Amino acid sequence: MAVNLKGRSFLTLMDYSRDEIRYLLDLSKKLKADKRAGRTGDSLKGKNVLLLFEKSSTRTRSSFEVGVTQEGGGVTFLDNRHSQFGKKESLEDSAKVFGRLYDGIEYRGYEQSVVEALARYSGVPVYNGLTDVDHPTQILADLLTIEEHIAKPLSDVKVVFCGDTRNNMAYAWMYGCAKMGMKFVAYGPRELAPQDAILEAVRGVAAGSGAEIGFSSDIRSVEGADVLYTDIWASMGEEDRIPERVKLLAPYKVTTDLLEATGNPNVLFMHCLPSFHDFETDMAKEQYELGYDIREVTDEVFRSAHSVVFDEAENRMHTIKAILVATLT
Ligand code: CP
Ligand code: NVA
């Protein structure tokens, strides 16, 4: 059956079928090849997309701006500091206004219920640019990156997510792997294990796709991994938890030893970024002076030939552009 995503929101990969995700990956590849060949289109001409951010962003904002602009459309950036959003006006009223003015809305913030309400009240496609529990556009970029680097079907690929396995990236990976029939291990401390309800939901999907989704604190669970993935240990809004996170997560730092424990000489290191891998940031330096080493990966691994982190960053743009083209045209 032909895939048609026109008018659809992109709130979580759980709303998308395997065929629809496949379609978006193939469209991303085509748009990427076109851009590399110097071809950009005008498929978003006359379309305006709102970029609404309640949390900071480098890659996601840039990818939406560049993706829309390359296809001839326009964007508006709003945050809650310089708009009425979340202050003088209800979510429902703001969403209705946005729906009158924009063809699509990207939202980054805290609760998943906000991105769902924006979709419900605005009546236009809404794109989840990260919430506390999901980051679906990142997974699309990461799946594309895996397909570019690993010469086997996604259904044969094993991804191990190391560290805070209760965060938005871990959950987004669980959803993506469950849909695409992949093997996924959340490798981290029991205290930060994925919530049971989420594990149950993804295992329901996995039963139909052939995926294997598990949690483990045992280093042997990284054996046979094709990808070791990690993320910062304290997500946006959780900075006050750094002391407890460093204590819990230090054993799950991605090191050369961990790469070797996979037994796969070609294992990929992946990370959504931003990453603490050295002391070049004020935050890493300040925390180190307080006695906390917040690096979730060694600089050696981050800069190694295994690392494809900047390919992932570039692929954010191609995949986000594909989502926009598929849902708005
Ligand atoms: N990976 C990612 O979402 O990056 P930003 O926070 O910079 O958007
Ligand atoms: N888990 C991180 C992801 C950043 C892209 C955060 O939410 O801050």
| Residues 211, 214: Cα–Cα separation, whole Å | 10
What pLDDT score does 204 carry? 96
Per-residue pLDDT reduced to its tens digit, 193-236: 999 999 999 999 999 999 999 999 999 999 999 999 999 999 99
Indicate if ligand 2 lies below 6 Å from the C-beta of 234.
no
In ligand 2, the atom with minimum distance to the C-alpha of 273 is 5
* Domains of the chain, first to last: 13-134+314-328 (3.40.50.1370), 151-265+268-305 (3.40.50.1370)
How much distance in Å is there from the Cα of 313 to the middle of ligand 1?
A: 8
Q: Which ligand is nearest to the CA of 315?
A: 1
Whole-number Å distance, alpha carbon 216 to ligand 2 midpoint, is 22
Q: How far apart are CA 149 and CA 263, in angstroms?
A: 18
pTM (two decimals): 0.98
- Structure tokens belonging to residue 138: 């990142």
**Mean pLDDT score, 143-150:** 98
Give how far Cα 285 sits from Cα of 42, 282, 300, Å: 45, 5, 18
Measured from the Cα of 137, ligand 1's closest atom is 3
Catalytic residues: 108, 135, 138, 231, 272, 316
Each residue's pLDDT tens digit, 27-73? 999 999 999 999 989 999 999 999 999 999 999 999 999 999 999 99
Ligand 1 pocket by C-beta < 6 Å: which residues? Answer: 57-60, 130, 138, 272-274
Q: pLDDT tens-digit profile of 300-312?
A: 999 999 999 999 9
Q: How far is the CA of 132 from the centre of ligand 2 (A)?
A: 8
